[in-house]
Structure 1
Amino acid sequence: MTVPRAAVPHPLVAAAGRDGRLPEWARCGEARRAHIERVAGLLAAWAERLDLPEAERVRWAAAARLHDALRDASPAELRQEAAPDWPAALLHGPACAARLRAEGVEDEDLLRAVAYHTVGHPEFGRLGEYLYLADFLEPGRSYLPDVRERLRAILPTERLEALLSVAGLRLAHRLEVRGAIRPETVALWNRLVEEAA
């Protein structure tokens, strides 16, 4: 009998998801680890409310703990592993996904969630969508606390409304600072608008 891949996660995924252990190569200080745990707490609560199976909860917990595992690494170190066209502040996601892939992780949904948790991606599965939301909405962030609290309150059930709100806020910020907008972000927005129509 073949065991489904999700039932036997990669050892790095199992360590992060079941035991809360980051890989030896992780580069994140105490403040970042506190953020990671707040993201993990949100995802755990949402996974419970969605009644996800245990294997899926492990994946969600792993994604939460791994998404910023390289957040405090230097841009020079991250550029060795990630696409060179990414801004320095966003390199940690793609670099971490690349490192996980090099270590043998083959879970494309989890890798995409980690790589694009800051900018979004049109091919996000449920894991990617909820990590994108949790990273933005975790209660330790001080920007727009009332809006964040309202959005946390409607989750996990009002997924599309929350995604449209968070993606819209992120896009508005990029426009306000006249910053570049990644094509994946625009494609995610367009997918969400189409889904809502």
Structure 2
Amino acid sequence: MTTTNATATAGPQSGLFISFEGIDGSGKSTQCRRLVAALEAQGREVVLTREPGGSPGAEEIRALVLQGDADRWSAETEILLFTAARRDHLERTILPALAAGKVVICDRFADSTRMYQGLSRGDLRGTVDQLHDLMIGREPDLTILIDMDPEVGLSRALSRQGVEERFESFGADLQRQMRAGFLALADEFADRFRIINGAQDMDGVAADILAAVNVALAEA
């Protein structure tokens, strides 16, 4: 049986793919929505999506991985589930939008899997990258990393009191490890990462993000 990766089947892409990353509670979702509004005000077509999720099949997997006890899945199983969700998301939402020339804004992408499953739950970064290369084959054009104090982020995340708190239940140690990991990724992929100071007020964060995105759009 012959397999074909996402890169080979994607065709021409004329849009811009932006991902948001950061520890839990860093304000990613709020800033994603603010960026959508700002870009639409510029007259751009924008698709807002998220991971895990972003397509019907991927949303079903989201419920599996974000709810339940902390030890519900092994890290290896999580990597497979997240990769399956991402492949469906890529095929059904991201690539069609990019091909139509739209700006895609995604709340988390593969960098979160590199951190949460690849590093925090075992030395599995190599496994994450192998699966990514085989089944996804696409990185964002621009990644916005909202950097902030892990204790503050965890407090914000837990205050939401939602049902999707499986990873927050790992505690502050995981948050500190994730912050360090995301900053290391920003060094590793410096060409696409932009670090935003999340300790500012929301307006300041939004202004810095929009400035970075406008530069990327001008260069696209």
TM-score normalised per structure 1: 0.34
Task: Identify, as 1 or 2, the structure richer in helix.
Answer: 1
Which structure ranks higher in relative contact order (CA pairs < 8 Å, sequence separation ≥ 6)? 2
Task: Identify, as 1 or 2, the structure richer in strand.
Answer: 2
